[in-house]
Amino acid sequence: MTITVPTLPMRMKRKWDEDDTAVTDVNDNNSANTSNEDEEEDEDEDDTAVTDVNDNNSAHTSNEDEEEDEDEDDTAVTDVNDNNSAHTSNEDEEEDEDEDDTAVTDVNDNNSAHTSNEDEEEDEDEDDTAVTDVNDNNSAHTSNEDEDDTAVTDVNDNNSAHTSNEDEEEDEDEDDTAVTDVNDNNSAHTSNEDEEEDEDEDDTAVTDVNDNNSAHTSNEDEDDTAVTDVNDNNSAHTSNEDEEEDEDEDDTAVTDVNDNNSAHTSNEDEEEDEDEDDTAVTDVNDNNSAHTSNEDEGEEELEFTIAPSPVFLPHPPVSDENSTLLDGNDLSVDRGNYCSLLFSFVFVFLTFVV
């Protein structure tokens, strides 16, 4: 006879060394909510949610629904001062050991920051960190990591920044970093890496915007780099690389725009193997417009055909029945026709030379 023992579903499985602590420190007309760990664990765990809010602030920290083994420090820290709002959502993940998945939100002076962290499956020795540093009436949103990578948003003085990071499958030793540095009433959006890659890649999206600028950087279905540096009421858009490549590539799109300029750089739809440097550079200053479209590779050579200009032959001279000589008017017509013929030959010659 078989005896069946019913089992209850377990939402969490952890092994050892965890301590689940929720700390809420709130002063002066603040609101803080900390929701901690629906999990089944054994002993000695340290899953800590810390919310420190001062002076009419609001902070919400939601922590870890996860399956993990040992020796993890999954910490959500929200430090908000002076009429700020911060939300930090941490780690739905499956991971093995020795990980430091930390979401840090530091907001001062009427700012808003949202950091959403790590839905991921990873092996070991990863540092998945989301950092949002916002000052003086700024707004920043950072969405992090379905893999091992880092989203950093540094925003000052009435700015808005949004960084969306990496849905990817990768093995180890990767540094997929999205950095948004925005100052003085700027807007920046950086969307990073949907990719499948092996190892030792540096997929970095950098947006540096100052003084009422707008920048949008869309990055990497492979290993490459999009850099947008915009100053003084500029607009820049960089769209990067949908490509299949193997290793050791530096596919870089650089847009440097100053003083009310517009630049658009569209980069590489390509299939390539290794050791390539496909770089699109647009440097625009003082109310200029530039468009650079780069490398749809798998192409052969440049081919061009120049159509020759038509050649106008002169009309035959018309003679009088009673005279064998042309009068003055007929002679001037002939001179005009010969001049036109000479000009046509010169034009055709210069066309082929150029």
Which residues fall within 8 angstroms of residue 45, CB to CB, at 6 or more apart?
14, 16, 17, 18, 19, 20
**Does residue 190 contact residue 219 with C-beta atoms inside 8 Å?**
yes
pTM for this predicted structure: 0.28
Asked whether residue 325 is domain-assigned, the answer is yes
Asked whether residue 117 is domain-assigned, the answer is no
Asked whether residue 140 is domain-assigned, the answer is no
Asked whether residue 23 is domain-assigned, the answer is yes
In single-letter form, the type of residue at position 32 comes to: A
**What is the token pair recorded at 26?**
């709130």
One domain for residues 23 and 73:
yes
One domain for residues 297 and 310:
no
One domain for residues 219 and 291:
yes
One domain for residues 309 and 297:
no
CA separation for the pair 79, 81 (Å, rounded): 7
One domain for residues 274 and 354:
no
**Does residue 271 contact residue 299 with C-beta atoms inside 8 Å?**
no
Phi, psi of 343, rounded to the nearest 5 degrees: -65, -40
Exposure letters 171-204 (e unless 16+ CB within 10 A, then b) = eeebebbbbbbbbebbbbbbbbbebebeeebebb
**What is the token pair recorded at 164?**
């969306």
Per-residue pLDDT of the chain (354 residues), as tens digits, is 565 555 444 434 343 344 444 554 444 444 444 444 444 444 454 555 554 544 444 455 544 444 444 445 555 555 554 444 555 544 444 444 455 555 555 544 444 455 444 444 444 445 555 554 444 444 455 444 444 444 544 444 444 444 444 444 444 444 555 554 444 444 444 444 444 444 444 545 544 444 444 454 444 443 444 444 444 444 444 444 444 444 444 544 444 444 444 444 444 444 444 444 544 444 444 444 444 444 443 433 343 445 555 555 555 555 555 444 444 444 454 667 888 889 898 999 998 887
pLDDT of 344 reads: 92
One domain for residues 219 and 321:
no
One domain for residues 293 and 325:
no
One domain for residues 257 and 318:
no
Asked whether residue 174 is domain-assigned, the answer is no
CA separation for the pair 136, 112 (Å, rounded): 10
One domain for residues 346 and 246:
no
Asked whether residue 3 is domain-assigned, the answer is no
Range of the domain at 350: 304-354
Domain boundary among 281, 301, 321: 301
CA distances from 254 to 74, 240, 286, 297 (A): 36, 10, 18, 19
Exposure letters 66-89 (e unless 16+ CB within 10 A, then b) = bbbbeebebbbbbbbbbbbbbbbb
User: What strands, in cross-sheet order, belong to the sheet with 187-191?
Assistant: 31-35, 58-62, 85-89, 112-116, 139-143, 160-164, 187-191, 214-218, 235-239, 262-266, 289-293
Residue appearing with tokens 């009429």: 83
One domain for residues 287 and 212:
yes
**What is the token pair recorded at 201?**
């890649």
| Of 215, 209, 174, residue with least CA distance to 195 | 174
Asked whether residue 169 is domain-assigned, the answer is no
Asked whether residue 326 is domain-assigned, the answer is yes
For the residues of 325-341, what is the DSSP string, one character each? Answer: S--HHHHHHHHHHHHHH
One domain for residues 256 and 280:
yes
CA separation for the pair 130, 144 (Å, rounded): 6
- When divided into structural domains, the chain yields a total of 3
One domain for residues 186 and 285:
yes
pLDDT of 76 reads: 54
